[in-house]
Structure 1
Amino acid sequence: MSRYGSHAIDHTSGGTRSADRGPSDGGPRPGGARAAGPRRRALGRGRLFVALLVCLGVVLLLVLVSLGVGARSIPLETVWRVLLHDDGSPEAIIVRRLRMPRTVLAVVVGAALALAGVVMQAITRNPLAEPGLVGVNAGASFAVVVAIAAFRVTGVSGYVWFALAGAVLAALLVHTLTSGASRGHQHTRLVLAGAALSASLGACTGIVTMFDTEAFDSYRFWVVGALENRGSEALTAAVPFVAVGTLIALALGPSLNALALGDEAGAALGLRVPRIRAAGFLSIMLLCGASTAAAGPIAFVGLVVPHVLRLVLGPDLRRLLAFSLPGGAILLLVGDIAGRVIAPPGEIEVGIVTAFLGAPALLWLVVRRGAVSS
């Protein structure tokens, strides 16, 4: 329950209640009726905790499956054994040195993109908003192309830092362009500025790759969004930024709930709306920038996961933020495993799999919103 005022939003029950209602207007009754409310709320929290544990268990199971699936399949009991004890066998080398960094990167990137999607949709109040909307993907892509063409950088370890810098600069530029807008139009200008900057940087990226075939050959393997051959360098570079962005996003949960009522209502409840928006934008920038730098542009994770969770959990952003972490990890692990199973002995990059899954979901959301609005 929100702490603002006596007539507060009860996010646990999904409705509103008055803190000072009496027996004459349907308020608390003596005895068992008075105690029923706390019991129901505690039961709801208990179910949420169990559901969160189930999600974490699914993540753990998918991690084990991911470690065992590939060009050389390894049984789950062997995977578990070599995880507990590195015996120097070929299976241990494959699991611990080749597949473990890839699997952990899938968990980190999936969780970061889903969490950024929840924050993005809350700040813009646009249910179709996606983290790439703020120019992060376009900025990272352009920076990688510049690194290849101008500095002849090769390898993911070199791409990561350029991509992160490009994503951060693009996001800061979008934030600067929207900071002068009025409070009521700020989120609209954010979407428009992000789309315009993405189109401009995409055109610049296309021009560079058109005239530099070497840059195009190197860039095309990064831009599809993939987890293989990233190595521990990409994971090491991304984790600190993702950790900071995650802490900021989770701390913003109660404030984002109040902000969902509107900027004016949030300000009336005592929120410093510009600071909350800036903090939310900072978390998006860190989460998306680090994820895109490590794995390349991966679309639709930040769009699909928040909508699925919203259908199951309701609109409470504190719940959505918490469950988006395992939810995003599950989606990206499933996509990565599916990409390795669909076309053996080769594989399909996870960015292609998520696009294949996310595009129909986006079309369904657009059609559904149009049907509701009509």
Structure 2
Amino acid sequence: MTPPPLPRRTFLSAAATACGFAGTMAVGATFYDPVTIRLANGAQAAGSRLRVEGATLRLDDRSWPWGEVLDATVAGPVAADLEPDGERGWVELTGGDRLFGTATAFDGDAIGLERPDGTALSLPADRVRGVRFPGGGFETGALTKPHRLTLLRDRGADDLALLRAGGRTGGELLGFDTATVRLRTAAGELTLPRAELAGLSLSPDLQTPPKTPDSFLTLLLADGSHLTAAALTLDETGGTAVTPAGIEVPIAADAVRRISVVSPRVREAGEPAATFAPGPAGSPPPVRDRTVTGRRAVAADRPRPRGWGVWSGTTLTFPVPPDAAAFDVGFALTAAAGELAECDVQIAVDGTTRQERSGLRTGKLVPLRIDVTNAERVALTIAPGALGGVQDEAFWIAPRFVIQSDEP
């Protein structure tokens, strides 16, 4: 006998949050660690004491409005660079933000997360894309690459339990704790030992799409987490980042490693056109995701904001806004575990090459900036280098246009 259907799970409503950057912020391994700020006009500043007061960023005795800032980097290690992502647990939000920690429970409405610093979060389930349980044994790309997940998902399955040994079980996620995971399948309710599961992929049909405000920050934290903040308060004792969905995330005073800015002066690049060099059939299309890749670390000092992941041999062409003065982007390259990749990079503006880099290798974020005044398009090309192959994964990180300003 087929059991009667259960109502689809309900979700907590996230409070709406007005966009803005407020409070006093101190970041770094200590409050006085070295800080580097890149400005929208191409200049840089270095110091040791970083604060935010209202809409103003202060570094020692200097200050700038947020609209004049590209990013701020604070010296200090990132945990995800010291141990493989695949061995650690995390929860990924619907916008691609990833919070490291151990998912402790799901009660039908919210997912509990215990973070490495000991703080606990309750995340509305409709704002969660997937859960990775600690312990390895699972290729994480299935959670973050839509074309892969489409191949895995069973017809009619709400949620997927991904097994460490391979394969998956589809159904409706009813709940989990530290010992078991409960699913409602076509055959009835099923209880699985959590130790046998690598992770969970929640149904896209039950997810609330992320909201992206006009101005926001993306944060890289010391534990490897990357997070979008519509509002941020932080001082010497700690603080809170508030996501565009209204989720409040405690931030320790020594936790922030990098802050990237999107503002009316610094805009995200739009949707690119993609072309592919001759290569194997079935090359995956470019994937836009705030995590860029779910497989392994991209670069030792990666900011992990929005970006585009492509295979070598791909050209992305972005339209240039008519009021843009410069194009700013980071580049990083990765390869299969234990391998070294190398590639050549070319940036062209209206068909004319403006910058070339040869022999870029795995593991380092390379910032690139090009003048695009009065230009119509900018094209980014990745070509395999001497050590590279067409299946090496390359990443354009945080492509942004700096808008012209009458101010000096």
Report the TM-score, using the length of structure 1 for normalisation.
Answer: 0.25
Pick the structure with greater CA Rg.
1
Higher RCO (C-alpha under 8 Å, 6+ residues apart):
1
**Higher share of residues assigned helix:** 1
Report the TM-score, using the length of structure 2 for normalisation.
Answer: 0.24
